[in-house]
Structure 1
């Protein structure tokens, strides 16, 4: 086989050959042991930094064993006499360095963010990494060699040793979450696995844990916030409901169920639009809802006519506030009723002129003043008032005004009087 054929053969074998000058600069190399010339040069630098630059000249030997990147090579150099101040050599991989891999693993595990340890059956620490020692506010050097009772509080130590014995008895990994106490007396939480390992001639216990103290604390705070919100919702006496972006009631207060004449269990899961009675202002409410969900508005005050399970109606003042923001829209909306009219049978719808007449009547205007303000004849105003008394079942002017307020036609907290559906304070309707 000529030299070209030999080089081609070596390309598929765990072998490295090189040709170097006097300064051991690789001029040419090949074989399947290394991927490129740079790695071959690094191999040569590593090998000859650990040995004499001319091992054959000083020791009379041209073969020795070298360790490189966790691999073991039989090195033969030089191969034959020098040619033009160049020498050739060859290294054949014969195995892996069993001592290097554990050192690499230890270095990796020592700096890993997960807390890790190894203890013998008596609870003595054989090894611990920085993350594990950090749980106790100390260093690995202060942990290794000590017993569990010297590191943990008595109650914690008993729990730790019991878990160790459980792992040794089972002979297989166990996953669990545990509570530990730091040197300053504060507690923390960790989750992970504990498993048996062989250390020399004895079976020991190893563990890898992730500190979940911050997660547990955040979960506890969230639970407390939810409980506080539920208590506020249930004991405020306000009818309120959490409505999803799709319009489904997710949560509701007992006051809301009572107002709508239904059970709380029947109200949750119901579609919110089924609680709305037909009303001229319904399209405006739908536009407001879309603006909330699209996050164009954070909160809105509006009104709506609600219908209960018995078909009775009442007008309610609603405060709508978005919660739980997604990437492009709100997740849900809290709806709170702050004012509500008396429940009543659905009246005939009133015209804008009739609502305006009620507003002026509530402001103390006479029939003549109402006629002049609305550019109507006196007879037309008298007709509308008679019609309103029939529609609202009110025999007198005072009763008519009172009915307009309790039925939610007029806003109870504004002056001069105006409709609850008025777009702005200066408008009566």
Structure 2
């Protein structure tokens, strides 16, 4: 501040604030605001701007950028001022500055051309975003840590969308579920449950998480792998998202995995009826109308059947149904063994 004390600062005419709309607006604003002439010398600053540098507004007015900022920043700021004055347009800007205690802080705002009496100047208004930047960095680090945990911990981790579909998954999760990692994305998580109707506690916990009532929960589940085996697991659920934006996802981690048990595929009555209609050559539209199902519900059942019977296509589903004895090999129209012959066509 030696230049301030020496009395070498030029004096700029500073009319009453109400003669300058920007000054009248920013004088008492919590945002940091300033005006500089084309040489980089301050003609006006508010208290919030001076506070960023640990001084008073009267001490700032008349100083040059080089008196309060580091040389590298001075060159950059002057170049931006020249751009604003040349183009006559506002510029959105994010800057890093050093606080009086030596810590680095961040601010974001705009610079734009303005008049100070008859002089053409650059005005700026900024808000401190240090806490926001710090929180964003912490969130990014936390997400990176979660992905490292997902990929290298050996835990079966998946991230689910609020509607229950897999958006991310780790290799261990794909191995537990017996499917390729690339095939997990987009699949409904309840397609891997032995019988969704038996998992009341799990679905209750899920509803509490996605509605924002809870941040974490635990429940037991019986998982069905792609090869048809089942194993019991403890599922840990953690909601992702801020209260203001709502839940954006849920991390699910399966632990305490029990031993694999080979089970005979047992479609539900509705799924068995779908297989019967598939074997009869009916289209998805026909099946949905016949069983009074929405296309979304039918797609869910077909996805579940593909996992249950290890059959990726419609012909494979029908073939597996005959091999497993789910359909009678001697009956037409197709029907399960022991089912009464229908009185009319399927």
TM-score class, shorter: 0.5 to 0.7
Whole-angstrom distance in 2 between the partners of 1:342 and 1:118: 72
Whole-angstrom distance in 1 between the partners of 2:18 and 2:265: 88
Whole-angstrom distance in 2 between the partners of 1:149 and 1:331: 46
Q: Deviations over 1:48-92 (max 9, x none)?
A: xxxxxxxxxxxxxxxxxxxxxxxxxxxxxxxxxxxxxxxxxxxxx
Whole-angstrom distance in 1 between the partners of 2:198 and 2:149: 30
Per-residue deviation, 1:324:
4.1
Please say if 1:299 is aligned against 2:299. Answer: no
Whole-angstrom distance in 2 between the partners of 1:258 and 1:237: 10
Whole-angstrom distance in 1 between the partners of 2:30 and 2:45: 12
Q: Deviations over 1:156-176 (max 9, x none)?
A: 111111111111221221112
2:154 aligned to which of 213, 219, 237: 237
TM-score normalised by L of structure 1: 0.52
Match of 2:133 in 1: 216
Q: SS at the partner of 1:196?
A: strand
Change (3 A) 1:140 1:330: closer
Is the deviation greater in 200-209 or in 149-158?
200-209
Change (3 A) 1:284 1:303: same
CA contact (8 A) 1:111 1:130 kept: yes
Q: SS at the partner of 2:81?
A: helix
Q: Deviations over 1:225-258 (max 9, x none)?
A: 1111111221110112123442212322121123
Give the number of aligned pairs: 246
Please say if 1:118 is aligned against 2:35. Answer: yes
Per-residue deviation, 1:286:
3.3
CA contact (8 A) 1:304 1:317 kept: yes
Change (3 A) 1:204 1:187: same
Per-residue deviation, 1:150:
0.2
Over the residues paired in the alignment, what is the CA RMSD in angstroms? 2.8
Whole-angstrom distance in 2 between the partners of 1:129 and 1:261: 64
Change (3 A) 1:182 1:331: closer
Q: Deviations over 1:78-112 (max 9, x none)?
A: xxxxxxxxxxxxxxxxxxxx967327864542210
Per-residue deviation, 1:126:
0.3
Please say if 1:202 is aligned against 2:126. Answer: no
Whole-angstrom distance in 2 between the partners of 1:230 and 1:120: 49
Q: SS at the partner of 2:38?
A: coil
Match of 2:55 in 1: 138
Match of 1:270 in 2: 187
Change (3 A) 1:330 1:118: closer
Name the structure, 1 or 2, with higher relative contact order (CA <8 Å, separation 6+). Answer: 2
CA contact (8 A) 2:50 2:60 kept: yes
CA contact (8 A) 2:205 2:217 kept: no
Match of 1:389 in 2: none
Whole-angstrom distance in 1 between the partners of 2:27 and 2:199: 61
Q: SS at the partner of 1:111?
A: coil
Whole-angstrom distance in 1 between the partners of 2:91 and 2:265: 71
Match of 1:312 in 2: 228
